[in-house]
Amino acid sequence: MNITIIGGHGKVALLATPLLIEAGHSVHSIIRKESQSEDIRALGGAPVVADIESMSVEEIATLLKELNTQVLVWSAGAAGQGGPERTYAVDRDAAIRSMDAAAAAGIERYIMVSYLGADPNHGIDPDNGFYTYAEAKAAADEHLRASSLRYTILGPGALVDGEAGGIDLDLQLAVGGLDELVSRTVARATVAAVLAAVIDDESTVHKALPFIDGSTPIAQAVASAPAQNRLRP
């Protein structure tokens, strides 16, 4: 399949790209800086320099059509840079435009990289620095659920470095406050492997998968995921 990753130079996306290529897919990585292109090429992907943050739905749809996109992956984020306004601009508004663009371009499959516990009822204090991100991701995920897209929402725990391994996949993982969520970690390499696994697993369509590092092999955990479309109970 032809896969387009928005946020292709992010750490998870860079780890996922060779896995997707090894599985027989082609990967276009949308990036913001030309200087990032060589990193993408070194992994076997095709870099596409475009500023999704400033593009309209129509412009994104045109680009996705030009790339013959069959699966769209959202793995972008403001990463806390630029304050609340940019967090909303990227993690909420640009993400929502990408969903509308995918629908307009006739792309049915959409993979969202969210976070463990993302939900309108996230419970984060408005005075907490994480609040804006929680609000933005919740809004984007809600828009995706209401869309016509055949989506899968990934809800990894706090990201850490390390080798890929198994996962624990359980809705109850998403229960608790921010301190508890931060303590539930998952290696970025594991997130990349989960991303690669769900693309080839039709049973994950219209599901949300909250997960952390654990003992269950990824393919087994993903295939047996319950029919839930939220990351919090």
**Is the pTM for the entire model greater than 0.85?**
yes
For helices 11-22 and 188-199, the axis angle rounded to 10 degrees is 40
184 CB-near residues (< 8 Å, 6+ apart)? 116, 157, 158, 173, 212
pLDDT tens digits, 120-179: 988 889 999 899 999 999 999 999 999 999 999 999 999 999 999 999 997 787 776 777
What sign does the CA torsion over 71, 101, 13, 160 have? negative
What pLDDT is attached to residue 81? 78
Q: Write out pLDDT tens, residues 8-40.
A: 999 999 999 999 999 999 999 999 999 999 999
Residue pointed to by tokens 């969903």: 99
Instruction: Give 143's contacts (C-beta < 8 A, 6+ positions apart).
Output: 95, 96, 99
Within 13 A of 160's CA, how many CA atoms are on the CB side?
12
Give the list of residues 6+ apart from residue 129 with CB closer than 8 angstroms, or none: 80
pLDDT averaged over every residue in the chain: 94
